[in-house]
Structure 1
Amino acid sequence: MWVTCSQASLLKGVQLASRAISTRTTMPILGYILLETMKNGLRLTATDLELAVQVDIDAEIKKGGQVTLPARILAEIVGNLPDAMVELKNEEGAHQVEITCEASAFEILGLPAGDFPALPRADGSEIGAIDADMLRTMVSQTIFAVSADETRPFLTGLYIAMEEAEVRFVATDGGRLALRKTGLATTAKQKTGVIVPAKTMQELMRALAGVAGDVQLAMADNQLLFTVPGLRVYSRLISGQFPNYQQVIPQEFKQRIRVQTDRLLRAVRRMSITARDSANVVRLAAKGKKLTITSNTPEVGKAREEVEVTADGDTIEAAFNARYLMDCLNNIDVDELLFELTGPLSPGAIRPTGHSDYVYVLAPVRVYG
């Protein structure tokens, strides 16, 4: 292999691919990046067997080939090279690579490229496409509700459901549920419902930072593939049956509270200071134009705040986990929301005013006294 490329493009490729590198592995090859020549460039691939990132960069190919290099060492070398052209060269069949840039020269040992895990092919299994900005929004508005309980793995990922012209992202940990839906950039070619690990979606968002245009989705064996020009992210899917989330979403309510998002967020944040017991509970009661929020922890103290609202229907007092409330309010990107209640022991629903594409459901906390 004999390749020449810019330091900037090589560094970007190494940094993106390194997002799939695991620091905890018993397989040495998983700490390496596979570099292989393409017709008009260089392809860098890394994987931890659950997540794989593949990046294409522009390069002049003088001689084709493939090698693997240790990701950490490669990143340190390229990151400290001057902003100039970089040359990578190795002899056919050898695992040693020469890296030169202006007056700097390195000889780095790799592992056999044949030992690198093969990635699945996704030919002919396209599902649909989502706008990159919308994808980032959908993830940020749902991923905080994913469970951290590894004993229920089917709750530790985002559920992605595609059908015809719509895609839904759903997350739940059993105590709350977040659902965001939108129209697809292209009509779904097949009905799909898969659970993608939260880690993958977080890394995907970092990899797609600044990317515009559509993100193509495709199935590849038991993996989901996200593709934009020059970048592919593969994710292992979580097995198991995702809960019937439609049954959790309240269809009727007895009280509807209309409130400014930021005002409610700031009030709940203040009330949470004196709600630092195990349940982190705040109580809400609205009547007419006033929402009263209170918290009380015997070992700490108590607090009370009133927020201007418009409340219709019955007067209901309910208690909720303050952190769960703030997680939702921090991710609603409209000025006003609707808080819908059915009863003190029934789930509440939060919806952005004028938008039917997002709903956040949270279970109440039973309190005494």
Structure 2
Amino acid sequence: MRVTIERSAFLKALNHVQSVVERRNTIPILSNVLVQAKGEAVKLTATDLDIEIIETVAAEVAQDGAVTVAAHMLYDIVRKLPDGAQLELDQGPDTGRVAIKAGRSRFALQALPPEDFPDLNAGELANRFTLKASDLKGLVEKTRFAISTEETRYYLNGIYLHEVAANKTLRAVATDGHRLARAQVPLPEGAKGMPGIIVPRKTVLELVKLIEGDDGEVEVALSASKIRFSCNGLTLTSKLIDGTFPDYERVIPRNNDKTLDVDTKLFSSAVDRVSTISFEKGRAVKLNVGDGRVVLTVNNPDSGSAEEEIAATYDAEPIDIGFNSRYLLDIASQIKSDTARFQLADAGSPTIVLDPSDDQALYVLMPMRV
């Protein structure tokens, strides 16, 4: 194999693929990236056996071939080369090493046989549809903060993506048992009849990186066990979480009759300020909601107390209710409107948070005792 490739394009592609490679691997080949040169392009592949990322980069290929080299080491080498550099990858008769040349720099990296590199064969992906990258990003961004990190309830360790036939939408839901985030977009053509799937947290994080700044379209193909996202010469294939997502509709309250409207930025800033002295674990902040105002209070026996009052629109009976401040800030960060709307019932019942400018998103927050 002999290839010449431009440094910035190669670096961008390596940055994408090497991110799925674990720093410590008991299987040596999984620490490597597969580099395949053919025609006028180089294809880079990396996998951790659960996720596979493939990206194709234009290159001058003098001799077709394939090699696997240490992903993070190759990325670090390319990253440290000067802008505008041209790299030459050359694997001669010694198939156990690959030479890298750029200007006056020379490297020789150990290589493993490409035929040993695992193939995350996706099999038959019967459901296929196309989504705007902005729509997919919206679904992910509005819900991923609520993904559970508790490994015992593994079926909550991802985003539940499913069709809602009643209103012809594609819906994303995530919950950790303390909060729930729900977002939806009109059902794309081809998604009708798709199985409900749980996309793992790591896959979600990689997907966010891949579609960042992309304003095109993403091709989605899925089965009950795997999903594939394709855009701009980049393909992300992932196994899905094998489990049953709980009936989340049961935790969304239907009779919250007290409506509180607050300025999103003022509220977020006030929560952030008063929570400075809260317990690291509890992070509880109490909201005393009354006519025309909300008083936010934090009491910490070890460090003191904090209180701040902000104006609000509220005309129901006064209510005292506590929330985890971190969860409040996470939800507030997703609200694009100037106003955040809370629909309350009582101090012990779940609260709904809405973005008045986005009727496709809904958040549910469990209260805390304070």
* TM-score, scaled to structure 2: 0.92
Task: Indicate whether 1:157 and 2:164 are aligned.
Answer: no
Counterpart code for 2:148: S
Counterpart code for 1:45: T
Distance 2:229 2:21 in 1: 18
User: What is the deviation of 1:111?
Assistant: 0.2
Distance 1:94 1:220 in 2: 38
Counterpart code for 2:279: R
Q: Is the 8 A contact 1:97 1:109 kept in 2?
A: yes
User: What is the deviation of 1:315?
Assistant: 2.9
Q: Find the counterpart in structure 1 of residue 169 from structure 2.
A: 166
CA gap 1:38/1:193 in 2 versus in 1, 3 angstroms:
farther
What do the CA deviations read for 1:106-136 (whole angstroms, capped 9, x no partner)?
A: 3322001011001224665343232223333
Distance 1:286 1:266 in 2: 17
Q: Find the counterpart in structure 1 of residue 274 from structure 2.
A: 271
Q: Find the counterpart in structure 2 of residue 296 from structure 1.
A: 299
Pairwise CA RMSD = 2.2
User: What is the deviation of 1:220?
Assistant: 5.9
Q: What SS does structure 2 have at the residue aligned with 1:201? A: helix
Task: Indicate whether 1:305 and 2:308 are aligned.
Answer: yes
User: What is the deviation of 1:163?
Assistant: 4.9
Which deviates the most, 85-94 or 313-322? Answer: 85-94
Distance 2:100 2:42 in 1: 15
Q: Is the 8 A contact 1:17 1:55 kept in 2?
A: yes
Distance 1:102 1:303 in 2: 60
Distance 1:93 1:169 in 2: 50
Q: Find the counterpart in structure 1 of residue 117 from structure 2.
A: 116
Q: Find the counterpart in structure 2 of residue 196 from structure 1.
A: 199
| Identity within the alignment, % | 35
Q: Is the 8 A contact 1:67 1:111 kept in 2?
A: yes
Counterpart code for 2:133: A
What is the correspondence of 1:1-369 to structure 2 with a 5 Å cutoff?
Answer: 1-82=1-82, 83-91=84-92, 94-121=95-122, 125-163=126-164, 165-184=168-187, 186-219=189-222, 222-276=225-279, 278-367=281-370
User: What is the deviation of 1:91?
Assistant: 4.1
Q: Is the 8 A contact 2:197 2:224 kept in 1?
A: no
CA gap 1:132/1:317 in 2 versus in 1, 3 angstroms:
same
- Segments of structure 1 that go 5 or more residues without pairing to the other structure are none
Distance 2:59 2:188 in 1: 31
Distance 2:212 2:154 in 1: 27
Distance 1:221 1:93 in 2: 43
Q: What SS does structure 1 have at the residue aligned with 2:77? A: helix
Q: Is the 8 A contact 1:275 1:295 kept in 2?
A: yes
Q: Is the 8 A contact 1:163 1:190 kept in 2?
A: no
Distance 2:182 2:205 in 1: 17
Which deviates the most, 203-212 or 112-121? Answer: 203-212
CA gap 1:123/1:60 in 2 versus in 1, 3 angstroms:
farther
Which deviates the most, 240-249 or 103-112? Answer: 103-112
Counterpart code for 1:262: K
Q: What SS does structure 1 have at the residue aligned with 2:314? A: strand
Q: Is the 8 A contact 1:290 1:310 kept in 2?
A: yes
Distance 1:2 1:358 in 2: 51
- Give the aligned length: 367
User: What is the deviation of 1:185?
Assistant: 5.3
Q: What SS does structure 2 have at the residue aligned with 1:139? A: helix
Counterpart code for 1:283: K
Q: Is the 8 A contact 1:19 1:53 kept in 2?
A: no
Distance 1:118 1:101 in 2: 31
What do the CA deviations read for 1:24-44 (whole angstroms, capped 9, x no partner)?
A: 220000110001124431100
Which deviates the most, 206-215 or 75-84? Answer: 75-84
Which deviates the most, 153-162 or 283-292? Answer: 283-292
What do the CA deviations read for 1:45-68 (whole angstroms, capped 9, x no partner)?
A: 001112221110001223222111
Q: What SS does structure 2 have at the residue aligned with 1:312? A: coil
Distance 1:178 1:120 in 2: 32
Distance 2:234 2:70 in 1: 20
Distance 2:138 2:163 in 1: 17
Distance 1:84 1:278 in 2: 49
Which deviates the most, 156-165 or 113-122? Answer: 156-165
User: What is the deviation of 1:231?
Assistant: 0.6
Which deviates the most, 236-245 or 265-274? Answer: 265-274
Q: Is the 8 A contact 2:351 2:364 kept in 1?
A: yes
Which deviates the most, 209-218 or 115-124? Answer: 115-124
Counterpart code for 2:150: D
